Chains A and B, each alone.
Chain A
């Protein structure tokens, strides 16, 4: 089956602009989480969506936002871009949210990421 698809894979923006990234989860997965990966801060949780509702949020400023559609596809948006927003943004999908899945621990399946460069 198809994996988690993220678009675009690469993009370059300038400071002050905004960007929208897209994530299509594995078919049947209803939870989508977003992570930011940078050399300095490593992998950090941004937020999670389930059934079009934000279920959990990390410690990021309000410039970072997201949403989920009825087909479980998700988008994240970063407004007023700063140089420090340059990162690999990873999306992950999971069958369920809030409860353990059948294996006893939710397994996240990650996409290949969207690499954002802010100039």
Chain B
């Protein structure tokens, strides 16, 4: 079945450091890919998305490129801030497998801690 694998955390960085969080996926069909972020005590917020191969999603300085050849969707940011400290989830929707676009399959999440 479909699955998403993320690098384990926590990831600890100093402010202004470069961030990469790895995400790979297995899917039956042609999935859409997402990154969601969860701040302490809150629900999930969509960070960015990509719907087809070679698409690049971007938002708030974060970027991720849909790589079909490597089945990856790694999250990157050139210069992190303390306010980026949160848990990041990679996810996919694969309607060919799941029967609908609103069923997301999530990775385990990666906790990011940014220190001043």
Interface residues of A (CB under 8 A from B): 4, 6, 31, 33, 35, 42-45, 48, 55-56, 58, 90, 92, 94, 96-100, 103-113
Contact = CB atoms under 8 A, between A and B. Distances in A.
Contacts of B104: 35, 43, 45, 108
Given A58-B103, A104-B51, A105-B101, A42 B108 contact: yes
Contact of B100 (A42, A90, A98, A109): A98
Contacts of B65: none
14 contacts: A4-B43, A42-B106, A42-B108, A48-B103, A90-B44, A94-B102, A97-B100, A98-B101, A105-B93, A106-B32, A106-B93, A107-B46, A108-B104, A113-B43
Given A43-B89, A48-B102, A56-B100, A105 B44 contact: no
Contacts of A112: 41-43
A110 B42 CA distance: 9
A111 B91 CA distance: 17
B99 A56 contact: yes
B103 A33 contact: yes
A76 B41 CA distance: 21
Interface of B: 32, 34, 36, 41-46, 49-52, 89, 91, 93, 95, 98-109
Given A100-B101, A112-B43, 17 more contacts: A43-B89, A43-B109, A48-B102, A48-B103, A56-B103, A58-B103, A92-B44, A92-B102, A97-B101, A98-B102, A103-B49, A104-B52, A106-B32, A106-B93, A107-B46, A108-B102, A110-B36
A98 B43 CA distance: 23
B106 A43 contact: yes
Select the residue from A90, A106, A109, A112 with max chain B CB neighbours within 10 A: A106
Contacts of B98: 56
Nearest to B32: A105
B2 to A, nearest CB: 11
Given A42-B108, A43-B89, A107-B49, A99 B103 contact: no
Contacts of B107: 42
